[in-house]
Amino acid sequence: MAAAIMVQGTGSGAGKSLIVAALCRLFKNAGYSVAPFKSQNMALNSYVTIESGEIGRAQALQAEAAGIPPSIYHNPILLKSEGSSGSQVVVMGKPFKTMTASDYYKNKELFWPYVVSAWEELNNRYEIIVIEGAGSPAEINLTEQEIVNMAVARLTSAPVLLVGDIDKGGVFASLYGTAALLKEDVKLIKGFVINKFRGDVNILIPGNVMITDLTGIPVIGVIPYVSGIGLEEEDSLALGSHFESGDRTGTGVKITVLRLNYISNFTDFHALSCEPGVELVYSLRDNDILNSDLVIIPGTKNTVKDLLFLKETGVSGVLQRAVTQGIPLMGMCGGYQMLGKVISDPDMIESRHREVRGLGFLDAETVFESSKVTLRVTAKKTGGIPFIDGEFDNLDCYEIHMGQTKGGSIFKVRVGDETYMDGESKGGVWGTYLHGIFDNDTFRAALLDGLRAKRGLKQTSTGINYIKLRNDAIECWSATVAKSLDMDLIYSLLIS
Q: Cα-Cα-Cα-Cα dihedral of 362, 367, 370, 371, to 10°? A: -50
User: Is 333 assigned a catalytic role?
Assistant: yes
What is the distance between the alpha carbons of residues 61 and 106, in angstroms, rounded to a whole number? 31
Which residue in 24, 333, 397, 401 is the catalytic one? Answer: 333
The letter for the amino acid at 262 is Y
User: Is 397 assigned a catalytic role?
Assistant: no
The answer to whether 165 and 9 are in contact (CB under 8 A) is yes
The answer to whether 361 and 329 are in contact (CB under 8 A) is yes
**Torsions phi, psi for 421 (to 5 deg):** -100, 145
Q: Which residues pair with 230 in a beta bridge?
A: none
The 3-state DSSP class for residue 347 equals: coil
With residues binned 3-state (H G I as helix, E B as strand, rest as coil), the percentages for the chain, rounded to 5, are 40, 30, 35
The answer to whether 188 and 150 are in contact (CB under 8 A) is yes
Minimal CA–CA distance to 160: which of 144, 172, 178, 146? 178
What is the distance between the alpha carbons of residues 47 and 56, in angstroms, rounded to a whole number? 6
Task: Give the C-alpha distances (Å, rounded to integers) separating 485 from 69, 282, 341.
Answer: 27, 34, 55
Q: Which residues are catalytic?
A: 333, 435
